Amino acid sequence: MTDTSLWHPFADMHAVRGAEFVLERGEDVWVYDTAGRRYLDATASLWYSNIGHGRPEIAAAIVAQLGKLEAYGIFGNMTNAPARDLAARVASYAPMPAAKVFLTSGGGDSIDTAAKIARRYWHAKGQPERTHMISRTNSYHGTHGIGTGLAGIAANRDGFGEYVRESERVAHDDPAALRKEIERIGPEKVAAFFAEPVIGAGGVIPPAPGYLEQTAQIAKEYGVLFVADEVICGYGRLGRWFGIERFGVVPDLITFAKGVTSGYLPLGGVISSAEVAAPFWDEGGRVLRHGATYAGHPTCCAAALANLDVLENDNLIPRGEELEGPLHDALRSLAEHPAVAEVRGGTGLLAAVELHPDALAANPAAIAAVATHARNEGGVLLRTLNTSLAVSPPLTATEDHFTIIRQAFDGALDS
Ligand code: PLP
Q: Let me know if residue 8 belongs to a domain.
A: no
Q: Let me know if residue 3 belongs to a domain.
A: no
Q: Residue 168, Cβ neighbours under 10 Å: how many?
A: 17
Q: Indicate if ligand 1 lies below 6 Å from the C-beta of 82.
A: no
Question: Are 157 and 223 found together in one domain?
Answer: yes
Q: Indicate if ligand 1 lies below 6 Å from the C-beta of 39.
A: no
Residue 351's pLDDT is: 98
Question: Are 190 and 79 found together in one domain?
Answer: yes
Q: Let me know if residue 229 belongs to a domain.
A: yes
Q: Indicate if ligand 1 lies below 6 Å from the C-beta of 198.
A: no
Q: Which of 46, 140, 148, 383 most suits a substitution to test ligand 1, by most atoms within 8 Å of the C-beta?
A: 140
Q: Let me know if residue 273 belongs to a domain.
A: yes
Residue 63 has pLDDT above 90, yes or no: yes
Give the mean pLDDT of 236-249.
98
Q: Indicate if ligand 1 lies below 6 Å from the C-beta of 112.
A: no
212: burial class by Cβ within 10 Å (0-12, 13-18, 19+)? buried
Question: Are 148 and 252 found together in one domain?
Answer: yes
Give the end of a domain, one of 313, 335, 363: 313
Find out whether 197 and 231 touch, Cβ atoms under 8 Å. Answer: no
Pairing of strands 388-391, 383-384: antiparallel
**Residue 306 belongs to domain with CATH number:** 3.40.640.10
Q: Let me know if residue 90 belongs to a domain.
A: yes
Residue 30's pLDDT is: 98
> Distance, CA 225 to ligand 1 centroid (Å)?
20
Q: Indicate if ligand 1 lies below 6 Å from the C-beta of 259.
A: no
Ligand 1 atom closest to the Cα of residue 139 is 3
pLDDT digit string (tens) for 8-28?
999 999 999 989 999 999 999
> Distance, CA 405 to ligand 1 centroid (Å)?
24
pLDDT digit string (tens) for 97-123?
999 999 999 999 999 999 999 999 999
Question: Are 294 and 404 found together in one domain?
Answer: no
Q: Could you tell me the residue range of the domain that residue 374 belongs to? A: 13-54+318-414
Question: Are 49 and 63 found together in one domain?
Answer: no
Question: Are 40 and 93 found together in one domain?
Answer: no
**Residue 346 belongs to domain with CATH number:** 3.90.1150.10
Give the end of a domain, one of 313, 331, 363: 313
Find out whether 361 and 368 touch, Cβ atoms under 8 Å. Answer: no
Question: Are 68 and 212 found together in one domain?
Answer: yes
Question: Are 231 and 352 found together in one domain?
Answer: no
Residue 165's pLDDT is: 87
pLDDT digit string (tens) for 324-363?
999 999 999 999 999 999 999 999 999 999 999 999 999 9
Give the mean pLDDT of 51-62.
98
Q: Residue 198, Cβ neighbours under 10 Å: how many?
A: 24
Nearest to 138 by CA among 235, 83, 215, 205: 205
Give the end of a domain, one of 313, 338, 373: 313
Q: Indicate if ligand 1 lies below 6 Å from the C-beta of 51.
A: no
pLDDT digit string (tens) for 367-376?
999 999 999 9
Residue 130 has pLDDT above 90, yes or no: yes
Question: Are 29 and 93 found together in one domain?
Answer: no
Give the mean pLDDT of 143-156.
95
> Distance, CA 106 to ligand 1 centroid (Å)?
7
Q: Let me know if residue 7 belongs to a domain.
A: no
Nearest to 139 by CA among 112, 157, 113: 157
Q: Let me know if residue 66 belongs to a domain.
A: yes
Q: Indicate if ligand 1 lies below 6 Å from the C-beta of 245.
A: no
Q: Let me know if residue 94 belongs to a domain.
A: yes
Question: Are 285 and 352 found together in one domain?
Answer: no
Structural domains in the chain (count): 2
Question: Are 196 and 93 found together in one domain?
Answer: yes
Question: Are 215 and 138 found together in one domain?
Answer: yes
Ligand 1 atom closest to the Cα of residue 258 is 15
pTM of the model: 0.98
